[in-house]
Amino acid sequence: MTERESLPRLKRLLPKLKGCSIGVLGDLMLDRYLSGDALKLSPEVPVPVVEFKEQKEFLGGAANVAANLAALDAKVEAFGVTGADEPARSLRTCLRRAGIAAKGVVVDKSRITTVKMRVIAKQHQIVRIDSEKRDPVSSAIEGKLFSELLKSLPHLDGLILSDYDKGVLISDAFIERVLGAAHRAKVPVFVKPKTTRLYAYRGARVIACNKKEAEFFLTRQLSDEESFDAALRDLLPRFGCGAMIITRGDKGMSILDESWRRHITIPATSFEVTYARVGQRGVERGSLGRQVFDVTGAGDTVLSVLSLAVAAGAPVLDAAMLANIAAGEVVGKLGTATISISDLAAGLDSLRR
């Protein structure tokens, strides 16, 4: 069944998204944008001189997943680790403004808060500067995180594990404890894994990765539908999850549930976007910017909407269709833009035309 044929059912799903309680555990980051004009080259080296105009800050990494959920009127709790520094204070301010509970954000004075700073000139990204510590968090910090999560699990409808390989979701033992506790509390778990691990998420309801990650896991290239079907069939038992999704950029996404005979591919929908819309909701359909398919940003959107829809009671296929539409509305990670219920409704309406 196509998205167009499923429109009435997907429309009825939208009101159910509001008010669901979702926890997000993972690598919280701060996305910082410094923007201005570049009117000349430096006399020192042949690089643009950017005349600074403004600085913007947004939630990144696992915090971007939380921001996507909050924009969809979900009740969101963030669980992660920051340093005791200025970026941590800015990140907490962004969480508060987004209406995201931060009781589960643990401070580790031995770490720095992950910051990805982008310099933008005339709507073009000049450079990105990363500040981060990727060492595994200590067992004491893991214990604090787990304790905070246990307090919240009884009232969560779903839990997302968002791994950016920055040290929070490194320990297999810690992940197993989290999954075990969620299983006992009957809370479905949704995962965006990193390529540093393969077997640590057994029991998850849905695992979502992109094409490049799937190829790494399987040590082979994916090209046609048959190769994606075989990939999903191989990854499903390896992860031990209920359903597997591979996002494919401008080709949409392929999904396989353990109860299906064959995978389903949902074609992508997209619009053109520019860096002028950093941090804004939705997209400008009439813009003349470049076509963007950033699998990381799209993965955040897909994971957020799919997890929320399944937690609200939707079948995995309906949730995937809705997530695909959401990814088309927020194509690429341009300033961790989020999508609202009204944006999703508009995306559904556009399929009628």
Instruction: Report the candidate in 294, 247, 296 with the shortest Cα–Cα distance to residue 29.
Output: 296
Contact (CB, 8 A) for 182 and 217: no
Q: What amino acid occupies position 62?
A: A
Residues labelled as active-site residues: 300
Q: DSSP letters along 121-184, please?
A: ETTEEEEEEEE---SPPPHHHHHHHHHHHHHHGGG-SEEEEE--SSSTT--HHHHHHHHHHHHH
CA dihedral 221, 244, 226, 266 (to 10 degrees): -110
Instruction: Report the candidate in 75, 77, 92, 72 with the shortest Cα–Cα distance to residue 25.
Output: 77
Cα three-residue angle 135-214-231, rounded to 5 degrees:
145
Cα three-residue angle 43-49-55, rounded to 5 degrees:
155
